[in-house]
Amino acid sequence: MEEEVILPHLFRTEYRNIVSVLCYLFGIEHIEIAEDIVSDTFLSATELWATKGIPENPAGWLYTVAKNKTKNYLKRNTVFEQKLSAEIRYSTPRTEEFEIDLSHKNIADSQLAMIFTVCDPSISDESQIALALNLLCGFGIQEIADAFLTGKEVIYKRLNRAKEKLRESRIKIEQPSISEINERLETVLTTLYLLFSEGYYSTSPLAQNATLRKDVCEEAMRLNYLLIESPATNQPAVNALYALMSFHASRFDARTNENGENILYEDQDETRWNRKLIDQGTHFLIQASTGNKVSKFHLEAGIAFWHTQKESTSEKWENILELYNNLLMLEYSPIAALNRTFALAKARSKQEAIIEAEKLNLTGNHFYYSLLGHLYTGIDHDKALRHFQTALELTTSKADRSTILKNIERLNS
Amino acid sequence: MNEFLIAIHRDLTSENASPSPEQMQAAIKPFQDWIGGIAAQNKLVAPPKRWDLGGRVVRQNNTVTNGPYAEIKESLGGLFLIRAESYEEAVEIAKGCPVLQYGAVVEVRMAIPAS
């Protein structure tokens, strides 16, 4: 494989693996030391590999070097060692010199513990996602800035503040107990879903960012899968979220054209939908159908499942309508209210949906006017046009503008 | 915004009650759509639950009897909470109840704001 391809991926994967293991070993107070050791390891690798070529087992090489650097660090910093090594020795009493365990199992355990640390309720959503991308997924600051469509400086500050907060609150990095899992799993799942959405819905104008966005989605799915692999967190809602992400991801390639522009659902070529991911989603949705609690992820996965059926049948839209009814009863959101009304138009009639739409009172939301424009299309041309124009005035997103303009064009043809 | 109790009363005790079990069956989907519509306006405070139709009635001296409280023909069949500006608005929402046409009665009560 080409070096330019293999290195960034290897670095990203191994960065998160080693950082997680070291943070798990050192504790959250020493997150920076862990990061420094890993960065230093990668610097050595880049220097050496540039002249001598990539070793046969690059990951193994990185692990050995990281272990040595950690031991050297501890030797040089006696204060740190006295304070920390005592704690580590205490927790691993059988070994005189503690081991840095980079086995697959310990990496998975460390990552799982870190997921629960990063998703601490004291950290804002925005920062949780940035932290997750950085510590759990191994993304660099520039990559995170690109994904968030913001500057490096902003992300740098955001990450530092969040890490400071974790240190201040002395949040332990440990295997979550059953009660912690029950208490926090929903927050964790919400963060993973936000992370996925960040990749899925980000409207970056840069076509080259498509790969980065896909990577963000894949990382969210990987972390979700870690929760499935661990028996204590393998709960129905976790499987439902994985199903939801699988269904969405199945349309990843079909939803943009070669210029990186969005293709609307109705216009997508369903032969480009990824069958394997659809089947995977169906499998995990079935796995999720146990217990007596229906989470929002179950309902959203159900809705996403019906969207993998391209044919517009009344069965499809009746089911989607019912799922949206249930979702709204569980938790209101403007987007769910709009989608519910769209489903009502499909299941019943546009007339019925217009009556309901006008009760929604979402003036100020450009999607609301786009929906009204859509509902009046074919019923009242002038009203439809007026609503689309209001939507156009309200939107700030370039991608949404082009979608609305397409709708106006269609209306006038 | 005020909170309102929406209580649906219907005949649970008569032999040939209206709404009949078949009519209730037919009303399930319209009922869900009605509630979904209220929720879509962000006016649902506490969603309805499915209540057991048997129930118990407790009276003075701890007398407990079976069955819904039915001194009158209309027992409590369902209840939930909504948000509305006024009785006028709450009543407008209540008029959408799809079981009304089969003889159910909807009671609307405003919660008195804590002062």
Task: Give domain limits for chain A.
Answer: 1-102, 107-230
Give the closest of B29, B41, B47 to A329, CB-based.
B47
How many CB atoms within 10 Å of residue A28? Answer: 20
Q: Does residue B49 lie in a domain region?
A: yes
* CA A57 vs CA A19, A43, A53: distances in Å: 19, 17, 12
Q: Does residue B85 lie in a domain region?
A: yes
**Does pTM surpass 0.95?**
no
| Residues 6 or more apart in contact with residue B29 via CB below 8 angstroms | A322
> Is A359's Cβ below 8 Å from some Cβ in B?
yes
Q: Does residue B8 lie in a domain region?
A: yes
Residue B36 C-alpha, separation from nearest chain A C-alpha, in angstroms: 4
CA A136 to the chain's CA centroid:
11
pLDDT at A94: 43
Pairwise CA distance, residues B106 & B95, whole Å: 8
Q: Above 70 in pLDDT, residue A84?
A: no
What domain range is B100 assigned to?
2-110
Pairwise CA distance, residues A155 & A160, whole Å: 8
pLDDT at A205: 54
- Are the beta carbons of B39 and A328 separated by less than 8 Å? yes
CATH of the domain at B67: 3.30.70.1060
Pairwise CA distance, residues A226 & A205, whole Å: 32
Give the closest of A326, A330, A359 to B41, CB-based.
A359
Phi-psi region of A125 (alpha: psi -120 to 50; beta: other; left: phi over 0): alpha
Give the closest of B32, B40, B41 to A322, CB-based.
B32
Handedness of CA A88, A92, A95, A99 (dihedral sign): negative
- Residues of chain B with Cβ-Cβ distance to A322 below 8 Å are 29, 32
Is residue B104 a contact partner of residue B97, using CB atoms and an 8 Å limit?
A: yes
- Are the beta carbons of A361 and B33 separated by less than 8 Å? no
- Are the beta carbons of B44 and A328 separated by less than 8 Å? yes
Residue A314 C-alpha, separation from nearest chain B C-alpha, in angstroms: 14
* CA A318 vs CA A296, A325, B37: distances in Å: 18, 11, 14
How many CB atoms within 10 Å of residue A65? Answer: 19
**Greater model confidence, A48 or B13:** A48
> Is A353's Cβ below 8 Å from some Cβ in B?
no
- Mean pLDDT, to the nearest integer, of A247-273? 86
Q: Does residue B115 lie in a domain region?
A: no
Report helix, strand or coil for A202: coil
pLDDT at A98: 61
Handedness of CA A182, A183, A186, A191 (dihedral sign): negative
Average per-residue pLDDT in chain A?
88
Among the residue ranges A17-31, A154-168, A196-210, A292-306, the one predicted with the least confidence is A196-210
**Greater model confidence, B70 or A334:** A334
- Are the beta carbons of A341 and B40 separated by less than 8 Å? yes
pLDDT over 70, % of chain A:
91
Domain count, chain B: 1
Minimal-distance CA residue of chain B relative to A319: B29
Q: Above 60 in pLDDT, residue B112?
A: yes
pLDDT at A226: 95
pLDDT at A266: 84
- Residues of chain B with Cβ-Cβ distance to A326 below 8 Å are 32, 36
Name residue A340's amino acid. R
